[in-house]
Structure formats: structure tokens, C-alpha cells
Amino acid sequence: MTSQPINEQTAENQNFEDSPQDAIHHLALDQVPANQNPAFNQTCFNDPVELIQQLQASSHTYCLFLDIDGTLADFCDDPEQSFIPDVMLATIAGIQRCQVPVIAVTGRQIPIAQQLFQSLTLPIAGLHGLDIVLDSGTRLSPDLSSIDFDRLKQALQHACTEYPRLLLEDKQYSFALHYRQCPELEPVAHDIMKQLVASYPQMKLNHGKCVVEILPIQADKGHAIQTILAHFGLDPITPIFIGDDITDESGFKAVNAQQGMSIKVGTGPTDAQYRLKDTTAVAAFLAQFHQFLPCRAANKAVSSCTREQYGEETCPN
């Protein structure tokens, strides 16, 4: 497979040195939650440049939280065939070099997520935040010893015997039933999981794009984001979270509560403040964010120097 090219909307033709007031003035949509903005009823997408301009209004540093499937990687019929394009990985590496923490928040198991990021090293909240690896010596996960996952898997396999086209994904502490290859079996998949979760009060269901997953009730992306921010002491900071699915909504709410930037990829109801159309638009935003970071750092240095020399934040040209 080949990766999709980034939409070539670079910083060369954009003025990232506008004042915060000018940046906000030029926005087509102010920072209004999508579910309260009439324009979003028609699924209007933001241009990545708008989001960069909005970030100029923040005086804080940034922290970037990223979902994987549907955000960095396009969906595949077989989840094992998914990949993050090399150009996207290079951009993320560049953002890290600008001293911006980048954290993956995904429904994938951590070893699978690590493979998708290839040589990049970053904290990962896997299984929708159930399992968090912050570094080589720090792992956060709840006690799940009361749940018989083997028995749960056997019951699920038995229920799926008559439907071989349903794809069962074993994530060790959760099980996902995919029906992307057979959308007509969506009601069957949901019914199987609904009957199963009734026997497991420690578990809940997550409904995603062509998938329904049974997982422990502690799994929550919003809680994972709050835990990571608290662990690293990232305050004051502007958190940014990009995701595409229903399972990302708790993450959007957590970021909104921190006065951050929440971005939904694609259509559908959401609590996110902004929308990007697809993974190509995400790549464009990340590329422009990477270009914006050194410019912002330079502007801060000039502002600091100006205050020292002139006693106020004005530009001596």
C-alpha cells in the first residue's frame, strides 16, 4: 500500500505571526462546541489553518493526544492491515523535537500501537485508556483479576459460530466484534454483545465504526487523558485531542474542560469544538502545527526581549 500525500497547504502562504486578536477575527468559526453551532448541523469542516490561528490565542505550551484508527490511519477491512503513513510519522517526530509531548490514546493494544508507530517512542494509552504506558518504567492499569476473560472469550466464540464473517479481535482485556466486511450483520453483532454483557456487570459496550466491543468499565479515554496530564504535571498547558469515533467523545469532553482544543475527524454528532474532514486533513494540520511551533517560539523570544528593552510588549521592528 502507498501512503496518501499531504494536502499541500503549508505555512509559506499563511501569516502565522498575526496577533491573537487578528487570528480570532479571521476565523470562520469561533471556539463554539460543534453540537451548539448551527453550522455543524450541516457538517462543516474547518481548514487546518483556522485551527493553527486559534492556537495563537493561547499563551500556554501544548500537549498533543492522538487517536490512531480513522485519525492517523485509514480504516481497513482487516485491522491488521492498517498503517500510519511514513510522512505522518515523520511529522509527529518533528513535533516531538519541538518539545511538545505527543501521546497516543487508542483502542488498540499497546504492543500493536507501538508497532504502528514504528521507531517512534511515545506514551500510549491503549484499550481506550484501560492500559497506559508512560515510559519504560511506568505502567498504569486497574486490577482486572475478578474478570474471567477466558470464559468470556469462549462464550463469544460460541455465539459467533453461525456467523463466520464476523471478525473477532482478541485484545486480551477486551474483545471487539467487527462487521465492516458484512455490514448486514450489524444487528446480529450488537445483539450478541448485548446478551453477553448482561452476564458481566464489570464490563460495558463501546460502539464504534463497524465494530462493537466489550471491555471493562474502567476503560475511558477522557479519564486516561486526565490521568496523563496529572502524572506529567502538565499545567498550564493547552491539550489538543484528535479523534474520529464515539469512543473519543469522553476525550473531547476532558480536553474541553481543560480549555484545550478538541477536533473530530469526519461526520457525526460530537462534543468536539472543530472538525477535520479525513486523515489527509489531519496530516495537513499536523504538518502546519509542526511548522508553526518554531515560529511561535521565535515570537516568544522576541516578545521577551522587547519587554526587557522597552518595558512593554511592542515590536521595535
Render 158-206 in DSSP notation, one character per residue. Answer: HHTTT-TTSEEEE-SS-EEEE-TT-GGGHHHHHHHHHHHHTT-TTEEEE
Lowest mean pLDDT: which of 53-57, 220-224, 254-258, 300-304? Answer: 300-304
What SS3 state is found at 52?
A: helix
User: Alpha helix locations (H) across 198-278?
Assistant: 221-232, 249-257
Domain spans, the chain: 11-142+219-308, 149-216
C-alpha 259 chain-centroid distance: 16
Answer positive or negative: Cα dihedral of 227, 82, 169, 253. positive
User: What is the predicted pLDDT for the residue at 91?
Assistant: 98
Lowest mean pLDDT: which of 73-87, 171-185, 299-313? Answer: 299-313
* Amino acid at position 89, single letter: L
Query: Which one of 22, 30, 47, 67 is the catalytic residue?
Result: 67
User: What is the predicted pLDDT for the residue at 158?
Assistant: 96
- Split at pLDDT 50, 70, 90, the class of 297 is low
User: What CATH homologous superfamily does 11-142+219-308 map to?
Assistant: HAD superfamily/HAD-like (3.40.50.1000)
Q: 211-247, pLDDT tens digit by residue?
A: 999 999 999 999 999 999 998 887 789 999 999 999 9
Classify domain 149-216 at the CATH topology level.
Answer: 3.30.1240
Q: What is the mean pLDDT of residues 253-264?
A: 96
User: What is the predicted pLDDT for the residue at 33?
Assistant: 47
* CA dist 254 → 33, 103, 106, 312 (Å): 13, 15, 15, 36
What is the spatial distance between Cα 120 and Cα 108, in angstroms, rounded to a whole number?
16
Pairing of strands 167-170, 175-178: antiparallel
Pick from 244, 173, 242: nearest CA to 210:
244
Q: 36-67, pLDDT tens digit by residue?
A: 444 444 679 999 999 999 998 877 889 999 99
- Split at pLDDT 50, 70, 90, the class of 95 is very high
What SS3 state is found at 39?
A: helix
Place of cell 469544538: 273
Enter the pTM of the model: 0.77
For the question of residue 77 being annotated catalytic, the response is no
Pick from 204, 215, 218, 219: nearest CA to 149:
215
What is the spatial distance between Cα 244 and Cα 260, in angstroms, rounded to a whole number?
17
Q: What is the mean pLDDT of residues 256-265?
A: 96
Cis amide bond preceding 236, omega within 30? yes
Pairing of strands 124-126, 102-105: parallel
Higher pLDDT, 76 or 315: 76
- Output DSSP code: residue 242: E
